Amino acid sequence: MSELPQISNPLEFFLFNGRAIGPQLHLILWGLGLLCIDFLIPKDKGRVGAFFAVGGILMASLHLYWLWGQSLASAFYGMITLDAFALFFDMLFLVAAFLAVLMSYRYMEVEEEQGGEYYALILFATSGMMFMAGAVDLVSLFIGLELMSISTYILVGFLKRSKRSNEASMKYFLLGAFSSGVILYGMSLLYGLSGSTNLDEIASRVSGLQDPTLLTLSLFMMMAGLCFKIAAVPFHMWVPDAYEGAPTSITAYMSVAVKAAAFAIFIRIFFVAFSDLREVDTLVLALIAMITITWGNVAAITQQNIKRLLAYSSISHAGFVLMGIVAGTQSGVTAAALYLLAYTFMNLGIWAVVILLRRQDIAGERLEDFDGLFFKHPAIAVLMLVFFLSLAGIPPLAGFIAKYFVFAAVLEVVFAEAGPNTSILVWLAVVAALNVVVSLYYYFRFVVAMFIKKDYLPAPLSFSGGLIVVLVITGILTVLIGIYPQPFIELARAASESLI
Amino acid sequence: MLASYIPILIFIVIALSLPIVGLAVGWLVRPSKPNATKLMPYECGVDPESDSRDRFSVRFYIIAILFVVFDVETIFLFPWAIIYNQLPIFLFIEMVVFLGILIVGYFYVWKKGALEWV
């Protein structure tokens, strides 16, 4: 047993570490405050909670901005790090939470499930993600993961009177808890092998192992659990059901933030703790990425429901992000981080349009609901087209830059013949490139409905100030990352540099 | 290294064999004369009135969950309280933070009316 660190000056300890996890503390305290004042908010003024949550997110962002200028190395005796990688993902989570809250409040009124808990849970989930991004210790990593997961299990089932939502929550909870268990088993093996929970120490202690069998077992267990969280095939079964049943705003939030958080710990674990097993994990991850991209796209072709279609499309996008990890180089991590950033904006934009189509008596999820959108609301239809094109990876939009960097990272390794398994990387690039064409087809089924069919829309769309702000922000950034990607690439590069 | 796990293995074997041996001995020794009263499910001595696989009010679950939350809180408090006078001020503040979060939860539950039965 190691000696507990002696804390000579508690006040100093709390001030220092409190500053280091300030953004998370802000989110948690504002969330708790929201729970306390929730009963004061009248039922019909539920959106007060949303503005309270926005306040918390803005305060956390300010604190994060301040932290960016400081160079605090780590906090809580190496449990949490504050490197550029963690700060990059913190920023991404805060942006996603901000946009998700803004697009929620009108939607939750339409669904008649407005409540302060909803926003408080979004804040708690976001703080969990930020703990995950900063975790360099298995314990803090797992606690962050559970804080995020448990909050999202509840959020998925937030439409209490909808059977679909309850079913989605149940499925997500059972499978999610199981996958957490598998991750935990992998962690326990890792701890048993190294005698430490700190990722850096684990890396240095397992590098001299004679027999890597148990280490490989631990690698595969954690890989399986994390692939579940990022929704990679063959651990994707829960995704269409959970995404379809959840409140649309939560689906949007899950498809970007939860996925990005899982990728953050995925990258950190595989590049720090398992750097010895690079050969094994590239081979397996390359296969998983290939299957994920293909299966996501093929299954999306026949979907008539936009939520299911976007669920499958998000599966295939997870495969593209995995390509960056498979490359295993610094540019690969840069590409993965950039992909997640671009994906946040384009995907949240598209979900915002889906929320717009949800009206009092109309689910607004089927293909037919998009018929003739262009003739009634040309601006919305054009924005939707921009997001679809970006998701498919057409220049000059964010999705193109993201895909370009992922492909470049993989091909760089292939041409340098630097790493092991270069032949499978070639196949990965070919399969992924072919799948881009497939994805264009199913996105364009919706574009055809919007622009060519001439049916009228039966009811006015549910516009709200927040939703318009979301559409403007996501629209601008989807185009901006496409035509002027330099600052975003710099951000992603700084993040990957701090890791490798 | 694996040898140090042998006590655990022995423990598992004993743990598994105890109930098996107990049931086997009981099965060998006892007379088998079942009748209707003996086969009836035991409900605190009262004759069962209906099928026990019934739907319960969701309130039971809320009470159960709240009980677990505050029960776990006590489990954390006990070891802390026992060595309270040897602890530095730091661990006192930590416990105040922990209790503070729980009190917010308690307040929330109270105001939401989860503690009222009807």
Ordered DSSP codes for A20-84 = HTHHHHHHHHHHHHHHHHGGGS-GGGTHHHHHHHHHHHHHHHHHHHHHHHS---EETTTTEE--H
Upper half-sphere CA count for residue A240 (Cβ side, 13 Å):
17
Residue A235 and residue A322: Cα distance in Å, rounded?
A: 14
| Chain A CA closest to residue B102 | A32
Rg of chain B taking only CA atoms, in angstroms: 24
In a domain, B116, yes or no: no
What's the burial of B33, exposed, middle or buried (CB within 10 Å: 0-12/13-18/19+)?
exposed
Query: Could you tell me what percent of chain A has a pLDDT over 90?
Result: 62
- ipTM value: 0.76
Residue A214 and residue A186: Cα distance in Å, rounded?
A: 9
- Contacts of residue B101 in chain A, CB cutoff 8 Å? 32
- Contacts of residue B111 in chain A, CB cutoff 8 Å? 38-39
Tokens of A482: 């496409």
Query: Could you tell me what percent of chain B has a pLDDT over 90?
Result: 26
Question: How distant, in Å, are the alpha carbons of B40, B49, B58 from that of B43?
Answer: 9, 10, 22
Residue B82 and residue A236: Cα distance in Å, rounded?
A: 48
Contact yes or no for A38 and B104 at CB 8 A? no
In a domain, B98, yes or no: yes
| Domain count along chain B | 1
Residue A289 in this model has a pLDDT that exceeds 50: yes
Contact yes or no for A38 and B90 at CB 8 A? no
In a domain, B74, yes or no: yes
Whether residue A84 contacts residue A497, with contact meaning beta carbons closer than 8 Å, is answered with yes
The string of pLDDT tens digits covering residues A58-100 is 999 999 999 888 877 788 888 899 889 999 999 999 999 999 9
Residue B83 and residue B85: Cα distance in Å, rounded?
A: 6
Contact yes or no for A32 and B111 at CB 8 A? no
**pLDDT average, residue stretch A272-289:** 85
Residue A305 in this model has a pLDDT that exceeds 70: yes
The predicted structure's pLDDT at residue A7: 66
In a domain, B30, yes or no: yes
Residue B48 in this model has a pLDDT that exceeds 90: no
Residue A392 and residue A399: Cα distance in Å, rounded?
A: 7
The string of pLDDT tens digits covering residues A40-49 is 888 777 788 8
Residue A439 in this model has a pLDDT that exceeds 60: yes
**pLDDT average, residue stretch A220-245:** 92
The string of pLDDT tens digits covering residues A137-195 is 999 999 999 999 999 999 999 999 999 999 999 999 999 999 999 999 999 999 998 88
Return the bridge partners of B46, or none: B43
Place of tokens 């049916």: A455
Averaged pLDDT score across all residues of chain A: 90
What is the pLDDT confidence band of residue A420, given thresholds at 50, 70 and 90? low
Domain that holds residue B22: 2-45+53-111
Residue B117 in this model has a pLDDT that exceeds 80: no
Tell me which residue of A166, A148, A314, A344 sits closest to A247, measured CA to CA.
A166
What is the pLDDT confidence band of residue A419, given thresholds at 50, 70 and 90? low
Give the lowest-confidence range in A1-15, A358-372, A387-401: A1-15
Residue A1 in this model has a pLDDT that exceeds 50: no
Find the DSSP H helices in A111-160. 116-134, 138-156
What's the burial of B9, exposed, middle or buried (CB within 10 Å: 0-12/13-18/19+)?
exposed
- Contacts of residue A18 in chain B, CB cutoff 8 Å? none
Give the lowest-confidence range in A70-74, A242-246, B29-33: A70-74
What's the burial of B43, exposed, middle or buried (CB within 10 Å: 0-12/13-18/19+)?
exposed
Phi and psi based region of residue B46 (left: phi greater than 0; alpha: psi -120 to 50; beta: remaining): beta
The string of pLDDT tens digits covering residues A345-367 is 999 999 999 999 888 778 888 88
**What is the b/e burial string over A272-307, where b = at least 16 CB atoms within 10 angstroms of the residue's CB?**
bbbebbeebbbebbbebbbbbbbbbbebbeebebbb
Question: How distant, in Å, are the alpha carbons of A406, B72, B82, B94, B108 from that of B76?
Answer: 48, 6, 11, 12, 21
| Nearest CB to B88 within list A7, A35, A39 | A7
The predicted structure's pLDDT at residue A98: 96
In a domain, B23, yes or no: yes
pTM (2 d.p.): 0.89
In a domain, B117, yes or no: no
The predicted structure's pLDDT at residue A2: 46
The string of pLDDT tens digits covering residues A291-304 is 999 999 999 999 98
Whether residue A54 contacts residue A47, with contact meaning beta carbons closer than 8 Å, is answered with no
Residue B49 in this model has a pLDDT that exceeds 80: no
Averaged pLDDT score across all residues of chain B: 86
| Chain B CA closest to residue A11 | B90
The predicted structure's pLDDT at residue B109: 87
Residue B5 and residue A177: Cα distance in Å, rounded?
A: 28
What is the pLDDT confidence band of residue B35, given thresholds at 50, 70 and 90? confident
What is the pLDDT confidence band of residue B8, given thresholds at 50, 70 and 90? very high
Closest chain B C-alpha to A496 CA, distance in angstroms = 35
The segment with the largest mean pLDDT, out of A6-15, A162-171, A413-422, is A162-171
Residue of B1, B102, B104, B116 to mutate for A, most A C-beta atoms under 10 A: B104
**pLDDT average, residue stretch B4-23:** 94
* DSSP annotation of A370: G
The predicted structure's pLDDT at residue A171: 94
The predicted structure's pLDDT at residue B118: 66
Contact yes or no for A36 and B107 at CB 8 A? yes
